Structure 1
Amino acid sequence: MRTMRSWFRETTGGLPATFWYLWSGTLINRLGSFVLVFLAIYLTQERGFSASQAGLVIGLWGVGGAVGTTAGGTLADRWGRRPTLLTAHLGAAAMMLGLGLARDIWAVALGALLLGMFAEAARPAFGAMMIDVVPVQDRLRAFSLNYWAINLGFACAAILAGFAAQANYLLLFVVDAGTMVITALIIFTRVPETRHTREAKGLTAAAAAPRGALRTILSDRIYLGFVALNLLAALVYLQHISMLPIAMGDDGLSPATYGSVIALNGVLIVVGQLFVPRLIRGRSRSHVLALAAVAMGAGFGLTAFAGTVWLYGLTVLIWTIGEMLNSPSNSTLIAELSPADLRGRYQGVFSLSWQIAGASAPILGGLVREHIGNAALWLGCAAIGVVTAVAHLVSGPARERRADALRRAGDAMAPVGSARPSVPQPVEATAA
């Protein structure tokens, strides 16, 4: 019991109150995140859209998300974190209700586009605020706790939404909008503005925006190759939101069943997060990422042969293992491949790969499924997983050499005798 209390204090202790208000908002928001999980089922079963039309609508959500992420990051720095978060959440709540009431395809498509824009605009402001209020030494566990809240909320929402959908689909949109409003109220009443002006920091505009930043990123083939591999993995992974519910519906399984099956993903991550980092510590990152790609490809590939609840559950278990292996290795690589003065822009480019996948995965999945067949879609996902795994093995050593070079450059620039934050040591053999 004493060991458990000690672990709990080490995990949660010492974090500022503002963080916990943000954490609470995340959990509440995710507990009501019904619509995206069931949007494909709603569009095909309730609205009568085809799989390709449903994919187009979900893809427009991703297009709006790409715009929102870019605009939200700019507004968070220029306007402030708090007003950006409030505008994004209240705007998303209004768009959520509008999408639930829309009937024509053009109205549904426009609603999805605007909803994606408002909902995703909150992400960069939220991340910036977390960094603002949490000390450097506590950020790893703070973001881990937030990730835990996201997956706990997602697991509960997937189950609850399945039953809510059987009662009334409009209820999904109303509850989702309500949780956004509650989150906005928490921010309005409890969360202060955390942005510091450049003048307060003594920074100039030139220091905040290094010249040639875009040229540097576009010429960084090693990093762009890493981003491209993440895009491939995301194209496979995001099929669980768009095409998986449609496939399960074709097999006669109810929305509640889909909710229970997909909830396994969140439950497994909540539990597995306690063990996976320790299991992969000291292992080759390229090998871990390759294994993750194979596991995700295999899990989605086996969906071609699934037709019962337990088989679908098994496929979710397999690709979730891949997701858990992929996430921590990705996080450390992003940090180590980003030059210190361009770290925010490098993070933005990586995030954009998810938005591109969010826009294209449902459209491509719907077209493949409708014109080639369900089996072709899932076996294609398996093939992409194998290609991604091979690419990670081939490109891994070059990535580690680049990370090591950036680490040495950072050491050389540090003043003699100055205290520097510890830098994670490479876990990949950097053989020539």
Structure 2
Amino acid sequence: MAVLTPRPSRAPSGPSSLPRPFWTLWLGVVINRTGAIVQPFLSVYLVEVQGFTLARAGAVMTAFGVGSLLSHVLAGWLTDRFGRRPTLTCGMLATSAAMVALGAARGFTAVAVAAFLLGLTIESYRPAAQAMVADLVPPPLRQRAYGLLFWATNLGYAVAMVAGGRLADHGAHAMFGVNAAVALVFAAVVWRAVPESRPAEGPPPGPQLRTALRDRPMLAVCAVTSAYGLLFAQAFTTLPLAMAEQRVSRADFGLAMALNGVLIVVLQLPVTGWLARWDRVRVLAAGTTVVAAGFALTALVHDARTLALTVAVWTAGEIVVAGTLPSIVADLAPPGLQGTYAGVSGMSWAAGAALAPLAGAALLPVGPRPLWLTLGAVGAAAALGTLMAGASVRRRTA
């Protein structure tokens, strides 16, 4: 006699539903991001400590960005070829060495080379960490797990901004030294407490990157990711300049932007669990639409209060996208290629973010309304593209 078992209405919830190695990785991300104090203050360091002109500081930041762009694909390939734990651990060791090198470098050429190496290593943990989550966490729980990693990243970032400001007052060597030490701690935590999770059979034969670049559903997701990156990165590139033209003070701008971190810390956990019940393609499209609406509404901003309202809107969309996008990428990846797919997705976001200052600089002189309405249209097009790719994505991730 057959026994009928009830079909669960949603994925199990609570900390116990996720495996212990995931929580160890989560703790390592919190530690790493709490000590990530150099990157937010790097441009200030280049101008005030190294004495570079704005043009030279911009060139160094470009070298850092190029390294960061390449790091996603390189780390993704290493993750699938040699394993998640070795890639993450060695990446953090290399990050620590690059931090020390950048802190000790003098002269434009030496600083630019060190900045490139730091960019090449500092984000290398992301593809490895995302692949670990895909290996360790069952598919129904991945959206929640990636949301938790995003929450950990923002919690650590909030602490890093406060700590970095204080350490900067004690000299650049303290700032670089603490960041390098924290990278070593992250490497030690993963090496000692997180088991290797790469499938025993390893990646399939043939060029790994070519497999991802020929995957049409994946390419559709990457196109959406690039558009989203171009839109979202405006918050840290064009938005400060635009608000200065609107006579919003730096202090008020900082308070409005702080709302982003507060809302993520407060809302990310309950919202991610609730979103796991719904179709991820529609959730991703909805989140992108909300982000687009938030930036489009910036065309109406005239003071700090209205700026805070728009920040709250696009933060709500960011919370929705944060756990959904990597879970879709993880389910699209064939066995053994989780790292490569995560790396390609990360590179897509970084490419869009790299174009953000150029797009903002071209549109800002035209006026705030054309700028923000155009960027809102880019986000709306990304949301529409998500829905158009929905059928093929669902077939692959079912």
For Structure 1 versus Structure 2, the TM-score category normalised by the shorter chain is 0.7 to 0.9
Identify which of structures 1 and 2 has the higher relative contact order when contacts are C-alpha pairs closer than 8 Å and 6+ apart.
Answer: 2
- Residues 221 and 55 (structure 1), Cα distance of their counterparts in 2 relative to 1, 3 Å cut: farther
Which residue type is aligned with residue 317 of structure 1?
A
Equivalent residue, structure 1, for 2:193? 191
Which residue type is aligned with residue 78 of structure 2?
L
Cα distance between partner residues in 1 of 2:388 and 2:363: 38
Q: CA deviation at 1:287?
A: 5.2
Cα distance between partner residues in 2 of 1:127 and 1:245: 31
1:71 and 2:66 correspond: no
**Contact kept? 1:165, 1:172, Cα under 8 Å:** yes
Q: Where does structure 2 lack aligned partners over 5 or more consecutive residues?
A: 1-11
- Residues 34 and 155 (structure 1), Cα distance of their counterparts in 2 relative to 1, 3 Å cut: same
- Residues 218 and 125 (structure 1), Cα distance of their counterparts in 2 relative to 1, 3 Å cut: closer
Cα distance between partner residues in 1 of 2:186 and 2:17: 23
Which residue type is aligned with residue 31 of structure 2?
I
**Aligned positions of 1:350-361 closer than 5 A:** 350-361=345-356
Equivalent residue, structure 2, for 1:297? 295
1:116 and 2:119 correspond: yes
Equivalent residue, structure 2, for 1:430? none
Of residues 90, 95, 98, the one that matches 2:98 is 95
Equivalent residue, structure 2, for 1:428? none
Cα distance between partner residues in 1 of 2:244 and 2:111: 21
Cα distance between partner residues in 2 of 1:18 and 1:274: 19
SS in structure 1 of the partner of residue 316 of structure 2:
helix
Which residue type is aligned with residue 347 of structure 2?
L
Of residues 387, 392, 414, the one that matches 2:378 is 387
Percent identity between the aligned chains?
Answer: 35
- Residues 136 and 289 (structure 1), Cα distance of their counterparts in 2 relative to 1, 3 Å cut: closer
Which residue type is aligned with residue 298 of structure 1?
A
Q: CA deviation at 1:31?
A: 0.9
**Aligned positions of 1:235-246 closer than 5 A:** 235-242=230-237
**Contact kept? 1:222, 1:399, Cα under 8 Å:** yes
**Contact kept? 1:132, 1:195, Cα under 8 Å:** yes
Cα distance between partner residues in 1 of 2:117 and 2:239: 24
Equivalent residue, structure 2, for 1:83? 86
Q: CA deviation at 1:20?
A: 2.9
SS in structure 2 of the partner of residue 238 of structure 1:
helix
Q: Alignment RMSD, CA only?
A: 4.0
Per-residue CA distance 1:69-97 (angstroms, 9 max, x = gap):
22323333333333322221122112123
**Contact kept? 1:132, 1:194, Cα under 8 Å:** no
Cα distance between partner residues in 2 of 1:400 and 1:346: 18
Equivalent residue, structure 1, for 2:3? none
Mean CA deviation greater in 24-33 or 163-172: 163-172
Cα distance between partner residues in 2 of 1:149 and 1:91: 22
Q: Where does structure 1 lack aligned partners over 5 or more consecutive residues?
A: 1-8, 408-422, 424-432
**Contact kept? 1:297, 1:381, Cα under 8 Å:** yes
Q: CA deviation at 1:218?
A: 4.5
- Residues 290 and 76 (structure 1), Cα distance of their counterparts in 2 relative to 1, 3 Å cut: closer
Cα distance between partner residues in 2 of 1:180 and 1:328: 24
Cα distance between partner residues in 2 of 1:295 and 1:35: 32
Of residues 262, 271, 277, the one that matches 1:267 is 262
**Aligned positions of 1:9-408 closer than 5 A:** 10-13=13-16, 15-47=18-50, 49=52, 53-134=56-137, 138-188=141-191, 190-191=192-193, 193-195=195-197, 201=200, 203=201, 208-209=203-204, 217-218=212-213, 223-242=218-237, 261-277=256-272, 278=274, 282=278, 284-285=282-283, 288-298=286-296, 313-331=308-326, 333-334=328-329, 345-362=340-357, 364=358, 369=361, 380=371, 382-393=373-384, 395-406=385-396
SS in structure 2 of the partner of residue 272 of structure 1:
helix
- Residues 288 and 144 (structure 1), Cα distance of their counterparts in 2 relative to 1, 3 Å cut: closer
Cα distance between partner residues in 1 of 2:331 and 2:86: 32
Which residue type is aligned with residue 292 of structure 2?
V
**Contact kept? 1:158, 1:260, Cα under 8 Å:** no
Which residue type is aligned with residue 235 of structure 1?
L
- Residues 124 and 335 (structure 1), Cα distance of their counterparts in 2 relative to 1, 3 Å cut: closer
Q: CA deviation at 1:47?
A: 4.5
Cα distance between partner residues in 1 of 2:40 and 2:83: 31
**Contact kept? 1:89, 1:118, Cα under 8 Å:** yes
Cα distance between partner residues in 1 of 2:365 and 2:104: 30
Cα distance between partner residues in 1 of 2:308 and 2:363: 25
Q: CA deviation at 1:26?
A: 0.9
Cα distance between partner residues in 2 of 1:360 and 1:353: 11
Cα distance between partner residues in 1 of 2:284 and 2:71: 32
- Corresponding residue pairs, total: 383
TM-score w.r.t. the length of structure 1 is: 0.72
Which residue type is aligned with residue 67 of structure 1?
L
**Contact kept? 1:59, 1:358, Cα under 8 Å:** no
- Residues 260 and 340 (structure 1), Cα distance of their counterparts in 2 relative to 1, 3 Å cut: same
Q: CA deviation at 1:231?
A: 1.0
TM-score w.r.t. the length of structure 2 is: 0.77
